[in-house]
A = this chain, B = another copy of it.
Amino acid sequence: MTESVATKRKFDSLQQEAYLSLWRTYDRLRALEEKLFQTHGLTAQQYNVLRILNASSESMPTLAIASKLVSRAPDITRMLDKLETAGWIDRVRSPDDRRSVLIEITAAGRKKLKELEGPLAEMHEEQLGHVAAKDLRLLCDLLAKIRSPHEPEGTSW
């Protein structure tokens, strides 16, 4: 009810409403995530780098990490600089291809991830605990359908 009234008043089209709703919802949930990461001294993107490295059994070249990240990262180099300074990753020039730089997570990096596990689960509960699992599943499937034509070839998304 209120929805459709609001729609008529505020949006030019259903597509616009969908996009702005997506943006708004992301923004609201992001605020919670950012607050958490801030207290632990890293950013969401930095956390995702560690998560990706941890999930991979081996070290990965710089740009391979960038392509797996949630959000584009043209400044991946400087992001890794910070992670390296914090001691959470190591950089090694690949012997096979001296252009590429292999990144691996350090013990300290794994420790940091471990430390974040609990708080992160709590934060996700705060973000989405009020939503039924079947709705979340539905949401994930809808979103996958929505973004599929916009994914680059051979992406892991």
Contacts and interface: CB of A to CB of B under 8 A. Distances in A.
Instruction: State the copy count for this chain.
Output: 2
A147 interface: yes
A15 B146 contact: no
Interface residues of A, number: 58
A26 B23 contact: yes
Interface in A1-58: 3, 9-10, 12-33, 55
B24 A157 contact: yes
A98 interface: no
A10 B134 CA distance: 19
Interface of A: 3, 9-10, 12-33, 55, 70-72, 117, 120-121, 124-125, 127-131, 133, 135-147, 149-151, 156-157
The 5 residue pairs across chains A and B that have the minimum distance between CB atoms: A15-B124, A28-B150, A25-B143, A25-B147, A26-B26
